[in-house]
Amino acid sequence: MRIEFPDGDVEVFEPGTTGMDVAESISRGLAKKALACTLDERLLDLTVPLPADGSIRILTFADDRGKEVLRHSAAHLMASAVKSLFPGTRLGIGPAIEDGFYYDMDIPDFPGSSALEGVEAEMRRQVEEDVPFKRQEMDLSEALQLFEELGETLKLELLRELQHKGETRVSVYRHGDFVDLCRGPHVPSTGLLRHFNLLGVAGAYWRGDERRQMLTRIYGTVFDSAQGLKRHLQLLEEARKRDHRKLGKELEMFTVGGEGGPGLAYWYPNGTVVLEELERHWKEAHRAAGYQLIRTPHIAPAELWQTSGHYDYYRDNMYFLDVEGAEYALKPMNCPGHMLIYRGRKRSYRELPMRLAELGTVYRYEKSGVLHGLMRVRGFTQDDAHIFCSQNQITDEIKGVVRLALYFLKIFDFGYKIRLSLMDAAEADHYAGNEESWRTVEPVLAQALEEMEEDYAPVTGEAAFYGPKIDIDLRDALGRLWQGPTIQFDFNLPERFDLTYVGSDGAAHRVLTIHRALYGSMERFVGCLIEHYAGNLPGWLAPMQCIILPITSEQREKALEVFRRLEDVGLRCAVDDSSETVGYRIRQAETSKVPFMLVIGEREVRSDMAALRVHGEGDRGSIPVDEAVETVREACRRPALPNGG
Partner RNA sequence: GCCCACGUAGCUCAGUCGGUAGAGCACAUCCUUGGUAAGGAUGAGGUCAGCGGUUCAAUUCCGCUCGUGGGCUCCA
| Residues making contact with RNA (CB under 7 A) | 112-113, 200-205, 208, 210, 214, 216-217, 245, 249, 256-258, 261-263, 364, 366-373, 376-378, 380, 382, 483, 486, 517, 520-521, 523-524, 550-554, 579-584, 586-587, 590-591, 597, 599, 601-604, 611, 613, 615-616, 618-619, 622
Write out the H or E segment, with its range, that includes residue 605: helix 602-607
- To the query of whether residue 287 is one of the catalytic residues in this protein, the response is no
- Closest approach, Cβ 613 to RNA, in A, equals 4
Q: Which is nearer to RNA, 4 or 577 (CB)?
A: 577
CA 167 to chain centre: 37
- Closest approach, Cβ 182 to RNA, in A, equals 20
- Coil, helix or strand for 316? helix
Q: Which is nearer to RNA, 195 or 615 (CB)?
A: 615
Q: Which is nearer to RNA, 39 or 107 (CB)?
A: 107
Q: What is the 3-state secondary structure (H, E, C) of 253-288?
A: CEEECHHHCCCCEEECHHHHHHHHHHHHHHHHHHHH
Q: Which is nearer to RNA, 36 or 420 (CB)?
A: 420
- To the query of whether residue 516 is one of the catalytic residues in this protein, the response is no
Edge-to-edge strands, sheet with 299-301: 299-301, 326-330, 320-323
Q: Please give the Cα distance from 224 to 231 (Å, whole number).
A: 12
Q: φ, ψ for residue 636 (rounded to 5)?
A: -110, 15
- Closest approach, Cβ 583 to RNA, in A, equals 4
- Closest approach, Cβ 476 to RNA, in A, equals 15
- Closest approach, Cβ 631 to RNA, in A, equals 14
The closest alpha carbon to 48, from 178, 177, 188, 170, belongs to 188
Q: Which is nearer to RNA, 193 or 548 (CB)?
A: 548
Q: Please give the Cα distance from 327 to 311 (Å, whole number).
A: 11
Residue 545 · residue 539 · CB < 8 Å: yes
Q: Which is nearer to RNA, 5 or 205 (CB)?
A: 205
Q: φ, ψ for residue 208 (rounded to 5)?
A: 65, 15
Single-letter amino acid, residue 570: G
- Closest approach, Cβ 234 to RNA, in A, equals 17
The closest alpha carbon to 209, from 253, 252, 154, belongs to 154
Q: Please give the Cα distance from 244 to 370 (Å, whole number).
A: 17
Q: How far is CA 196 from CA 31, 121, 494, in A?
A: 21, 11, 53
- Identify the active-site residue in 67, 155, 386, 516: 386
Q: Which is nearer to RNA, 53 or 462 (CB)?
A: 462
Write out the H or E segment, with its range, that includes residue 603: helix 602-607
- Closest approach, Cβ 263 to RNA, in A, equals 6
- Identify the active-site residue in 57, 469, 558, 585: 469
CA end-to-end span of the chain: 63
- Closest approach, Cβ 255 to RNA, in A, equals 9
- To the query of whether residue 306 is one of the catalytic residues in this protein, the response is no
Write out the H or E segment, with its range, that includes residue 520: strand 512-521
Single-letter amino acid, residue 52: A
Q: Please give the Cα distance from 559 to 604 (Å, whole number).
A: 10
- To the query of whether residue 213 is one of the catalytic residues in this protein, the response is no
- Closest approach, Cβ 406 to RNA, in A, equals 17
Q: Which is nearer to RNA, 185 or 527 (CB)?
A: 527
Write out the H or E segment, with its range, that includes residue 73: helix 64-85
- Coil, helix or strand for 307? helix
Edge-to-edge strands, sheet with 169-175: 134-139, 169-175, 178-181
- Identify the active-site residue in 195, 515, 524, 532: 515
- Identify the active-site residue in 106, 180, 224, 384: 384
Residue 185, preceding peptide bond in cis (omega within 30° of 0): yes
Q: Please give the Cα distance from 142 to 56 (Å, whole number).
A: 32
- Residue 594 is given by DSSP the state -
Parallel, antiparallel or unpaired: strands 415-422 and 379-389:
unpaired
Q: Which is nearer to RNA, 210 or 322 (CB)?
A: 210
Q: How far is CA 224 from CA 61, 67, 69, 80, 603, in A?
A: 6, 9, 11, 20, 58
- To the query of whether residue 382 is one of the catalytic residues in this protein, the response is yes
- To the query of whether residue 286 is one of the catalytic residues in this protein, the response is no
- To the query of whether residue 71 is one of the catalytic residues in this protein, the response is no
- Identify the active-site residue in 175, 364, 378, 524: 364
Parallel, antiparallel or unpaired: strands 292-293 and 254-256:
unpaired
Q: Which is nearer to RNA, 45 or 604 (CB)?
A: 604
- Closest approach, Cβ 573 to RNA, in A, equals 16
Residues present in the chain in total: 645
Q: Which residues does the annotation mark as catalytic?
A: 335, 364, 382, 384, 386, 469, 515
